[in-house]
Each structure stands twice: as structure tokens, then as C-alpha cells.
A and B are shown apart, each in its own frame.
Chain A
Amino acid sequence: MIDEALIEQLNRGYVCPPDAGPAWRAACEYGFDMSLVEDALTKSPEERLEEHQRALDMMLLIRDDIEHYAPK
């Protein structure tokens, strides 16, 4: 059942949990999507490094493309 509450929930993105501590809340208020940190904390450090590597590879690829296609 799609109602207004569900639509609102889908649209609002990450919401700081009500039981979050002050540091977690401060990071949320700073603007971080803390769902990414929550996700990282479910992984081992090795898995975090692997995920970081994938993100880094993508960013470097995009940076190379921007440089390649930038108007001369």
C-alpha cells in the first residue's frame, strides 16, 4: 500500500536515529549521510578497504574522463 507516509519516508533519505548519541547526531547535522558509516561498520576493515578501493577507482576514472573531455 503506497500512502503519503511511505512516499514521505522514501523521499526524505537518511534520518538520524532517535537514540543516536551526540557525536552521531553532530555528524548527521554536519551533513554526512551516516547510513554509509552504518553500512561500513557492518563490514570488516578488510571489506571497508575493498569498498574504498572501488569508490576510489570510480572517482579516478571520472577525474580522468573530465580531464580527457575538458575543452582545450
Chain B
Amino acid sequence: MNWAYNFYFREGPGIPKDAPKPQGLRLLAAVLGREWWELLKLNLLFIAFSLPVITLPAAWYATVSISVTMIEDRNVYLLRDFRDAFCSRLAVSTLVGLLFGASGTLGFLAVRTYAEAAKTNLLFVAPLTIAVTVSALLLLLNAHLFVALTKGAGRPLADIFMASAIGVIARPLPGLAALFIVALLWLAHILFYPASVFLPVLVNFSLGALVTSFAVLKGVQIGLSYLDSVRKHGTIRRPKT
């Protein structure tokens, strides 16, 4: 049993105070390495809180909120913080979720309709392209929105939307890359089913939330600070909420 004792109690290398903070993908790897066990638990929490279905957006918001805390290297009391986040933005996140659900459904229907039409008439490739692009942007905006809700606590909803939109425009590629990774996660689940039956139960939601939050966080911060900056100098009118 020495290995078990050593695993827990062996003296570590220490963490220098002035050690440079990892950036980019190294930071993501560091967060994953540090919080992998919490991510497993977070995934289960998300599933548990999503069971009534209508609470899915709030549960997703709470998952994103925890992910942002992990990325920012702050301490997480998983159950307590999840519950707090879930309750604090239950209404707003549900509203955002419903809006996204409705627009996402429209986007999906548009893409499917134009794709069917494009098979018979090439002229429909143009609206298909537009529908695909708009749907991807909606997906991206949604990813930004939940992170903006976390980072912009206390701000009006219009600010959250605006900051998210700015984030989408300022840094679309990391967000798209994150969405691609999430898609791969689900693709892996589908391809390797039933071997991958536990993948969604264990990591898909929490890892997806972490990766997308990590990718869009900077864009949201840019959006929020841009709003602050222009408002401070009076060059932009405060949007009505």
C-alpha cells in the first residue's frame, strides 16, 4: 500500500511563487490535469440538474460558471457553487436557453430545407451557405452568452448580448475550434457506441463546457471591457434594457 500512501502524501516539487502562468493550450491542459476529478463530478451534477429538461439552460449556465472559475484558478466548492449559480441565474439562463433553442431550431430547419432543395437546384446553395453560417454564428453567440452571463454578473441583459456579439466578432476562431472539439466528443460517442456509452455521463458536458468557456472567455472579456471603455468615454449610448 506504499504506492497509495506515496501517491497522496509524498512531498511534491513545490510551486514557485513567480512561476510564469501557463498560457493558451498549456493553461487548458493544466486546468484539465488539476480539475479532472471535479470535472467528472461536474458532469454528473449537470445531468442531475438537467433531468427536468426545462432546467437544462440553468444547469448549463452553472456548469459554465464552474468552468470559468476553474479556468481562472479560483477555488471551487462544487455542489455549493453549482447550486448557487443554478439558482442565481435560473430565470435569465432559461430565457437565453429558450431563445437559443427557438433560433437554433429555426436554423436547423432552414439548413435542412435548403440542403434538400440544393440537391435539385444549385441556386439554393447560396441560401444554404447563409443558413449554415448564421446557425454557426448563433451557436457561437450562445457559447459566448453563457460565459458573459458569468463574467457580467449584475449587468443588464442587453450588455450581455452586446458583449457576446462583440466577442463573436473579435475572436470567432477559438470559439469555432471549441465547438469543433465538442462535436468531435459527441461524434466519438456515436461512433464508438456502445463502448462509449459512459462518455456523456462522465465528461462530455463538463468537458464541453470547459473547452468552450476556455475558448470564448477572452472574447467575452474583450466585449465587456469594450463596452466599459466606450461607455466611460460617452461615445456609445447605453442600450435600453
Partners in one complex: no
Using a CB–CB cutoff of 8 Å, the interface residues on chain B facing chain A are none
